Amino acid sequence: MTDHLRDFARELDSQTAQPERLALHIGGLIDPELDVAHYSAALDSLAEEAEDRLLPGLRGGDLVHALLHVLGEQMGFQGNLGHYYDPGNSFLHLVIERRRGLPITLSLLYMAVARRLGIRLDGMGFPAHFMLRYQDEAGTWLLDPFHRSAVQEDEAAGYLSGLFHQHVQLHSAVVGYTVSSRMLVLRLLNNLRNVYLSNHIFHQALAVLDYMVLVEPNEPELWRDKGLLNIQTGQMLAAENDLRRYFTRRDRLHLFWAEPDAFLPGSPGLAWEGNRSPTQEEREVMAALSHIRATIGRIN
């Protein structure tokens, strides 16, 4: 059986890491025998097919619209509007097979195919929507593979406002929404985690977090969420260890050892670092730790 989590970690640390290979290893969550090489070859074949369909020498807006037409209309890669919250939309290997996906997975597929054709597309993590950016000497365009649309860069806020039927304000220049491969994969994983959580599939949400902490190991909230999910699945020792990492990454490890009521007004004896009492979030985590330790005590 392939250890996709281990291979994901190796790919993540590679100087030549490609987001589609990272995404394919995430597919190991639902298919431990998934053959990443097979689907990488499938992307090669899709690029060859797209190249045969694209007219040579296209640039600028002509190339952008041609990509949307060839990949979206002729080859059938579309947004899965009818089953938007199907977890399968977040797995690249299933998007390749079904030709249906989310904005982020369709964008990832476009990026992978375009790179094989010598075309650079950058991922753009806009509020509540994922798109692509193409730039050449003729200008800059934003592609939306989910809706098979394209707009010029200065039309981004208006386009997003139209999608959501409410005003969307961008708080930085469009280029500021460009995401790295790591951030693209983290956003993909976060979408998947939220789908599993909304359906109370806690063991799968926990498995997603195993990937997320590899991408952002110093993010305290990921360790907090991992610990709380381990409580839900009955893994108390693992939960305690995760919550220790949460406090360590917040530079508040002393709270890991404290009782939740030690910092209440009038409590004697225990001073806290920097005279800063625990936040509400920290108190909730401390209460979770008390539950863990009480449960472990009953078992032992």
Whole-number Å distance between alpha carbons of 184 and 19: 8
Instruction: Answer yes or no: do 268 and 162 share one domain.
Output: no
Whether the CB-CB separation of 80 and 100 falls below 8 Å is answered with yes
pLDDT band, very low/low/confident/very high, at 269 (cuts 50, 70, 90): very low
Can you give the pLDDT at residue 1?
64
End of a domain among 160, 177, 194? 177
Whole-number Å distance between alpha carbons of 80 and 205: 22
Whole-number Å distance between alpha carbons of 257 and 290: 10
The closest of 107, 162, 171 to 134, measured between CA atoms, is 107
Report the number of distinct structural domains present in the chain.
2
Instruction: Answer yes or no: do 234 and 159 share one domain.
Output: no
Instruction: Answer yes or no: do 163 and 244 share one domain.
Output: no
Residue 184 lies in a domain: no
Q: For residue range 209-254, what is the model confidence (pLDDT) as tens digits? A: 999 999 999 999 999 999 999 999 999 999 999 999 999 999 999 9
Q: For residue range 102-139, what is the model confidence (pLDDT) as tens digits? A: 999 999 999 999 999 999 999 999 988 999 999 999 99
Instruction: Answer yes or no: do 165 and 231 share one domain.
Output: no
Torsion over CA: 23, 25, 19, 47 (sign): negative
Residue 122 lies in a domain: yes
Whole-number Å distance between alpha carbons of 77 and 95: 8
pLDDT band, very low/low/confident/very high, at 2 (cuts 50, 70, 90): confident
Instruction: Answer yes or no: do 32 and 171 share one domain.
Output: yes
CA distance to 64, 199, 255, per residue, from 267 (Å)? 65, 41, 15
How much is the pTM? Answer: 0.92
* Model confidence at 264: pLDDT above 60: no
Instruction: Answer yes or no: do 141 and 229 share one domain.
Output: no
The closest of 151, 236, 50, 97 to 161, measured between CA atoms, is 151
Give the type of residue at 240.
E
Instruction: Answer yes or no: do 10 and 136 share one domain.
Output: yes
Which domain covers residue 264, as residue numbers?
Answer: 218-299
Whether the CB-CB separation of 237 and 296 falls below 8 Å is answered with yes
Helix axes 220-232, 202-215, angle to 10 degrees: 160
Instruction: Answer yes or no: do 171 and 237 share one domain.
Output: no
12-40 CB burial, b ≥16 within 10 A, e <16 = beeeeebbbbbbbbbbbbeeeebebeebe
Residue 213 lies in a domain: no
132-148 CB burial, b ≥16 within 10 A, e <16 = bbbeeeeebbbbbbbbb
Instruction: Answer yes or no: do 54 and 125 share one domain.
Output: yes
Q: For residue range 44-78, what is the model confidence (pLDDT) as tens digits? A: 999 999 999 999 999 999 999 999 999 999 999 99
